[in-house]
């Protein structure tokens, strides 16, 4: 009993210390995303790094010749597909977009990858596919699906009935399946109507493709099976597309399939499709803090040259270039303390800025700027967020009390020391906080012995990148990618540099009205964290018809608004003659505590401007009124911080008091038992014989 109480007290104290440690600075905002350890030596988690094509089983022969589409320049009347990007580059290892396949449409979250040439999703018949974000594609449920029959232009299965594909990637993951053709839909923000296209229906996944949350890959590379190539060949888009990734600690972004009017100050560099099958750029020099690295320009032209790959997380330089870059950065930061990286198995280049509250915009005051210089001497300025990642460690605490095991997770922006306390009954991993805050590591690594220069997504965070394939060039324009989506919506996919600054209302509650010129505006009072969007919608069907179909309508709205079904909540609906008034609430997703202004405006404008097309069974609709509520809900541990701390202190005091009382009582019992009055009979004890 005594040992059990001591063990229990030790466990209480251990838990309390760990909780107080993790709560020593209660957060005022959601914690920054957790960074996975940087992928070194081929061990790249949850991302695609195609440094070489799969020569054994190409689905079709690759054509190195350029594709020219008549009247496909940026001034043509071709529409484009504006698509939102989701996830986070360093948290997930990739960005995804939403693509709908089939009739009726089946939704998929696909990694946008300029290094892949096939778009593929898991097939319903796949027994060797992982568990992903959305259900597998069911060909039999699509009335427009057709398998691609075996022909001379593709690899065929063993029975020579269907065309097949196979793709292998450098991090040892692979995808195999059959080719099918169906209607691809690009979302309700797209000017481009749904198009028939060939895609892969997976029957087998291995490696990261099996374990990742995303459903599959959207191939944007050069090749006959690429979505871009197929749409260009149909003549429905210009031979161009653009990507814009969110910045440090900010996910999301935008993608445009087709041409946009380039901003006047966009920096272009040549991209030779004959040089390599990947999107390469003409990199000649790298400058750190205005000083050119002592490198021969030819170092950036080895093997595949300098490749820009959206499916790769970090950047990788040839050995000599990496050493020169690393030394230059260390020299400029000699006043900062160099610390250990997140993975003890690798030697990362990490620094402590000395402050835990450094804003991303202020990093340039601490870390040097980097410039990429192209063949025509044009320069792309890289801010610190384009070559650094924030050092965050995730710690799993394991506690065993007898046969009972507990597991807890913490995130620390620091370097941690781990200590172990154990006994026969209790096993606790104690974390010692070494108080290293505001830590950052280089997101540029050595590309092993491969002489290719590989520039991943970190290089182009908060940068609009236009892949102008028709004119064999790639453009870069620094911007806020988290806001670009709304600017593209307002400008109709034209020049993203032009944006409206006017506001038509300043309240958070408003009926839907149209501004002059016919375009609707929905202004919110500054940048607020939105906790709920309330919508009142009038439907031209009566209550008795709507009631049994309300769940179907809820799911449909979620699909059309490109949000999760769990975010759409029915508040109530009432009858108004032959019509119905339905009240909805849109709430943040499970992975977020608020809805961004951009997302809220997008949802409101979609409904107000009737760009959400309801099935005819639900008749017509009108958005009568909308209202947004600021997010007043704090994280639980922040909201009850004082209460929790006080409770823990009380538990510690009670536990220590109980332990002390127990020890005192036991001590007194021993003293009482050891004292006997002189008149008390003492039981005889046998004398032991003396040893001679």
Residue 501, pLDDT above cutoff 90: no
Name which of 149-163, 263-277, 498-512 the model is least confident about.
498-512
| Cα three-residue angle 328-333-334, rounded to 5 degrees | 100
Picking from 547, 631, 618, the residue whose alpha carbon sits closest to that of residue 586 is 631
Q: Which CATH number fits domain 81-237: 3.30.1360.10, 2.40.30.10, 2.40.70.10, 3.40.50.720?
A: 2.40.70.10
- 582, containing H or E segment: strand 579-586
- Residue in this structure with the two tokens 């006017």, named with its chain if needed: 502
Give the CB-side neighbour count of residue 298, counting CA atoms within 13 A: 0
Do 81-237 and 530-630 come out as alike in CATH topology? no
Digit-coded pLDDT (tens) for 641-651: 556 667 777 88
- Antiparallel, parallel or unpaired: β 306-308 and 453-455: parallel
User: How far is Cα of residue 543 from the mean position of the Cα atoms in its chain?
Assistant: 41
What CATH number labels 257-393+436-488?
2.40.70.10
Rounded to an integer, what distance in angstroms lies between the CA atom of residue 160 and that of residue 156? 5
Digit-coded pLDDT (tens) for 381-413: 999 999 998 876 544 444 445 445 444 444 443
Sign, CA dihedral 351-353-357-360, equals negative
Q: Which residues have a catalytic role annotated?
A: 113, 309
Rounded to an integer, what distance in angstroms lies between the CA atom of residue 619 and that of residue 268? 49
Task: Tally Cβ neighbours within 10 Å of residue 449.
Answer: 7
At 376 the pLDDT is 87
Residue 276, pLDDT above cutoff 80: yes
- Antiparallel, parallel or unpaired: β 174-185 and 195-206: antiparallel
| Contact (CB, 8 A) for 246 and 140 | no
**Is the whole model's pTM more than 0.85, yes or no?**
no
CA torsion angle 511 515 520 524 (round to 10)? -60
Residue 356 pLDDT level (bands cut at 50, 70, 90): low
- Antiparallel, parallel or unpaired: β 473-478 and 530-539: unpaired
Residue 117, pLDDT above cutoff 90: yes
Per-residue three-class SS string for 337-385: EEECCCCCCCCCCEEECCCCCCCHHHHHHCCCCEEEEECCCCEEEECHH
Picking from 429, 478, 484, the residue whose alpha carbon sits closest to that of residue 596 is 484
Name which of 29-38, 227-236, 346-355, 430-439 the model is least confident about.
29-38
What CATH number labels 530-630?
3.30.70
Can you tell me whether residue 1 is helix, strand or coil?
coil
Question: Structure tokens of 156?
Answer: 């065929």
At 357 the pLDDT is 61
- Residue in this structure with the two tokens 């499916």, named with its chain if needed: 311
Digit-coded pLDDT (tens) for 649-678: 788 888 777 877 887 877 777 666 555 555
Task: Tally Cβ neighbours within 10 Å of residue 611.
Answer: 11
Question: Structure tokens of 243?
Answer: 């990507």
Sign, CA dihedral 475-479-481-486, equals negative
Residue 596, pLDDT above cutoff 80: no
Digit-coded pLDDT (tens) for 6-51: 444 544 544 554 444 444 444 333 333 322 333 333 333 323 333 3
Residue 514, pLDDT above cutoff 60: no
Q: In what order do the strands lie in the sheet with 315-317?
A: 280-281, 306-308, 453-455, 315-317, 444-446
Residue 210 pLDDT level (bands cut at 50, 70, 90): very high
At 521 the pLDDT is 52
- What average pLDDT does the structure give for the chain? 76
Rounded to an integer, what distance in angstroms lies between the CA atom of residue 395 and that of residue 22? 11
Can you tell me whether residue 228 is helix, strand or coil?
helix
Length, in residues, of the chain: 692
Picking from 141, 453, 516, 403, the residue whose alpha carbon sits closest to that of residue 279 is 453
- Measured between alpha carbons, how far is residue 186 from residues 54, 95, 254 in Å? 28, 16, 13
Residue 154, φ and ψ in degrees, nearest 5: -140, 165
pLDDT > 90 in the chain, percent: 38
Beta bridge partner(s), residue 532:
629
Q: Domain residues of the chain, as ranges?
A: 81-237, 257-393+436-488, 397-428, 530-630
């Amino acid at each position: 009993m005594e040992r059990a109480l001591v063990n229990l007290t030790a466990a209480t104290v251990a838990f309390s210390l760990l909780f107080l440690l993790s709560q020593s600075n209660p957060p005022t905002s959601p914690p920054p995303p957790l960074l996975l350890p940087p992928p070194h030596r081929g061990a790249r988690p949850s991302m695609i790094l195609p440094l070489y094509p799969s020569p054994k089983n190409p689905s079709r022969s690759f054509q190195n010749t350029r594709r020219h589409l008549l009247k496909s320049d940026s001034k043509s009347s071709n529409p484009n597909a504006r698509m939102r990007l989701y996830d986070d580059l360093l948290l997930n290892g990739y960005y995804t977009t939403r693509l709908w396949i089939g009739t009726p449409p089946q939704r998929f979250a696909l990694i946008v990858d300029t290094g892949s040439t096939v778009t593929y999703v898991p097939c319903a018949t796949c027994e060797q596919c992982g568990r992903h974000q959305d259900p597998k594609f069911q060909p039999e449920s699509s009335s427009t699906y057709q398998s691609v029959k075996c022909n001379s232009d593709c690899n065929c299965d063993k029975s020579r009935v269907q065309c097949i594909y196979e793709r292998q990637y450098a991090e040892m993951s692979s995808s195999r399946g059959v080719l099918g053709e169906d209607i691809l839909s690009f979302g309700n923000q797209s000017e481009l109507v749904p198009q028939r296209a060939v895609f892969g229906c997976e029957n087998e996944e291995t490696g990261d493709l099996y374990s990742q949350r995303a459903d599959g890959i959207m191939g944007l590379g050069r090749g006959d099976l690429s979505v871009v190539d197929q749409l260009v060949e149909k003549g429905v888009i210009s031979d161009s597309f653009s990507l814009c990734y969110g910045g440090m600690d900010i996910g999301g972004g935008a993608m445009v399939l087709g041409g946009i009017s380039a901003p006047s100050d966009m920096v272009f560099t040549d991209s030779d499709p004959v040089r390599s099958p990947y999107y390469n750029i003409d990199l000649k020099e790298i400058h750190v803090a205005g000083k050119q690295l002592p490198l021969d320009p030819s170092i950036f032209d080895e093997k595949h040259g300098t490749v820009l790959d959206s499916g790769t997380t970090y950047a990788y330089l040839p050995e000599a270039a990496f050493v020169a870059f690393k030394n230059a950065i260390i020299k400029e930061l000699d006043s900062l303390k160099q610390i250990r990286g997140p993975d003890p198995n690798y030697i990362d280049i990490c620094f402590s800025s000395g402050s835990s509250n450094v804003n991303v915009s202020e990093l340039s005051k601490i870390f040097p700027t980097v410039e990429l210089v192209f063949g025509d001497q044009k320069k792309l300025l890289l801010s610190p967020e384009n070559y650094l990642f924030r050092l965050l460690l995730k710690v799993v605490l394991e506690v065993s009390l007898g046969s009972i095991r507990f597991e807890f997770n913490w995130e620390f922006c620091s370097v941690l020391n781990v200590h172990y306390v154990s006994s026969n009954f209790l096993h606790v991993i104690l974390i010692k906080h070494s108080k290293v805050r505001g830590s950052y590591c280089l997101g540029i690594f050595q590309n092993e012995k491969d002489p290719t220069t590989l520039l991943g997504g970190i290089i182009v965070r908060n940068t609009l990148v236009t892949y102008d394939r028709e004119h064999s060039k790639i453009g870069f324009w620094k911007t806020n990618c988290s806001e670009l989506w709304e600017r593209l919506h307002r400008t109709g996919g034209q020049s993203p540099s032009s944006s409206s600054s006017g506001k038509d209302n300043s309240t958070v509650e408003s009926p839907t009205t149209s501004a002059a010129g016919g375009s609707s505006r929905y202004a919110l009072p500054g940048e607020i964290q939105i906790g709920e969007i309330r919508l009142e919608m009038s439907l031209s069907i009566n209550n008795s018809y709507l009631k049994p179909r309300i769940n179907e309508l809820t799911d449909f709205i979620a699909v059309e608004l490109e949000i999760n079904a769990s975010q759409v909540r029915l508040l109530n609906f009432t009858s108004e003659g032959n019509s119905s008034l339905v009240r909805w609430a849109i709430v943040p997703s499970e992975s977020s505590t608020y809805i961004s202004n951009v997302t809220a405006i997008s949802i409101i404008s979609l409904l107000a401007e009737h760009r959400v097309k309801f099935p005819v069974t639900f008749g017509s609709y009108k958005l009568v009124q909308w209202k947004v509520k600021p997010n007043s809900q704090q994280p639980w541990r922040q909201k009850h911080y004082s209460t929790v701390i006080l409770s823990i202190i009380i538990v510690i005091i009670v536990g220590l008091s109980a332990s002390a009382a127990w020890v005192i009582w036991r001590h007194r019992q021993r003293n009482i038992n050891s004292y006997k009055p002189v008149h008390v009979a003492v039981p005889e004890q046998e004398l032991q014989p003396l040893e001679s």
